[in-house]
Amino acid sequence: MDSEYEFGKDYAERIKKLDIYSKGFHTGCIDCIMPVGNNIEESKWWIIDWKSNFISKNDLTESYPFNYDYKNMKQEMYKHHYPLQAHLYLLALHRFLQWRLPNYLPEKSLGGYIYIFIRGLPNSDEKLFSYNAIPGVFSSSVSIKRILYLDKLFKYD
C-alpha cells in the first residue's frame, strides 16, 4: 500500500479481519460523482459521499463543527470502514470511466474521495478555525496503485 495516501498498511491489516460474508456487509451506493476541470476528458473525477455521523468530544448531546476536525473525522472513517467503501466506489468509478471516457488514463482522470459529514459543516456566519481545512469535510486523493490492484483482484472476465 502507498504510505503517502490516507489509510495505509495499518488499515489494510484491519480489513483482513472483516467478515465479508455477513449479511448486509455493504449495501450503500455512490452519492455523487463530480468532475473537476475545464472539460470532461481532462477532468479529475471525485467520489462524494454524505455522512450524518454524530461526533461529540465530551458531551454526548452536543455536536459542533469543531468536533469535525481532521483527527476526529479520520477516526470516524476508520471506525466505520469508510476507506474500504471509498475504494470500492473508486474501483466502480475507474471501471465506468474506462468504459465511457475516450483515452481514459487513471493517473490523469481519477481524483479521489470527499466525505462530507453534514452535522459538522459550519453555518455561513461561523468562523472557520483553519484556513487549510473545512470542518466536516474529509478528502483524500486516490492511490492509482491501490485501484489497479483492486481491479485485478475483482477481475470479472
Domain CATH number, residue 78: 3.90.320.10
Provide the total of helices (H) and of strands (E) in the chain, helices listed first. Answer: 5, 4
CA atoms within 13 A on the CB side of 89: 26
Residue 37, all three cell numbers: 476541470
Would you state the pLDDT for residue 10? 78
145: in domain: yes
Q: What is the residue range of 66's domain?
A: 30-153
86: in domain: yes
Would you state the pLDDT for residue 99? 94
What is the DSSP secondary-structure string of 8-46?
-HHHHHHHTT--TTSTTS------EEEEESSSGGGPEEE
Q: How many domains does the chain have?
A: 1
11: in domain: no
Would you state the pLDDT for residue 59? 62
Would you state the pLDDT for residue 3? 41
Which stretches of the chain score pLDDT less than 50? 1-3
18: in domain: no
